[in-house]
A = this chain, B = another copy of it.
Amino acid sequence: MALLDHINLKAKTDKNTGFGTNSSSYGGRFINKNGVANIEKKGMNILHRISWYHTLIDMPMWKFMTIVLAFYVGINFVFAAIYFGIGIEYLDGISNSDSDWGKFGKAYFFSAQTFTTVGYGHISPKGFMTSALSAAEALIGLLSFAIATGLFFGRFSKPTAFLKFSHNAVIAPYENITGLMIRMTPFKNTNFTDAEAKMTLGMSIEENGQMINKFYTLDLELQKINSLSLSWTLVHPINDQSPLHQFTKTDFETIHGELLVYVKTFDDMFSSTVAARTSYVFSEIVYGAKFVPMYTRNFDHSKTVLDLDKLNEFVPVVLG
């Protein structure tokens, strides 16, 4: 491989990435686009390996609501079956003239009325077994809604970095040299202050005849900003200290490399530190392009308008 020829020996390596150096243990990218490490866990009991709370909190709303609904329909079915099994005659208010399906249906809705504690009372339990079962069902119902309350609150109060990254990175002109740039923007009605960014480059290269993962810290033009209200373009100047010094378009096409981006900021609305990560494999880096501005002032010059749809918009430029 030709790669070793232009490794920049002046570039700062990074030993603290938390990723190992043995390239042959790794599959695919280090970090997925959504910021989660590209790792699959196995071993241990799956129930111990999964935080079901986080799973329920992070899934899309429609999935979550489907689970809630399925649970409600299902648990009432189970209870209805038991009421039916004990004997429909222990439910006062169900007439004997009903068909079996009709009886089961009434048991089912009695169950729903018990589970939700609506308890109209036109059907009511009689006898120890049915009374005890309905007492248990009301308890389970209330505890289920207690858990649902927690999950709803967990879902919407979870501090999340409402931050979007451009899909691509670009190599653009920067001062007299070139720079590697990515762009991010807050996209919701929250306030970010004290934002801090880190960029790391991971490459799979040959060293002493073996393929290893090598990581480099990429210096940024600005590493911290006081307030992240507009778009923020992270710029890594490709100067003679950069590991990307003298990289050509072909290098980006042939080398197996990945840019890891990590941002931490304080969200005034959550009063909490929030973090976001993403990564760009080399095929997601556009060589010779620059981002177009995302904001401008409004018609009467009283406000600055940020156009979120322009986050990933860039135009081609010829690099010296």
Contact = CB atoms under 8 A, between A and B. Distances in A.
Q: Which of A37, A55, A296 has the most CB of B within 10 A?
A: A37
B229 A18 contact: yes
Given A135-B109, A271-B275, A49 B120 contact: no
Contacts of A275: 193, 266, 268, 271
A271 B274 contact: yes
Copy tally for this chain in the complex stands at 4
B19 A227 contact: yes
Interface string A207-251: 000000000000000101111111010000000000000000000
A87 interface: no
A93 to B, nearest CB: 8
B39 A304 contact: yes
A135 B152 contact: no
A58 B225 CA distance: 26
Contacts of A227: 17-19, 31, 37, 262, 277
B145 A146 contact: yes
Interface string A1-37: 0000000000000111111101011111001000111
A153 to B, nearest CB: 3
A91 to B, nearest CB: 11
15 contacts: A17-B225, A18-B227, A22-B293, A27-B305, A37-B191, A48-B188, A54-B189, A54-B190, A105-B128, A113-B135, A116-B142, A146-B148, A146-B153, A266-B275, A271-B275
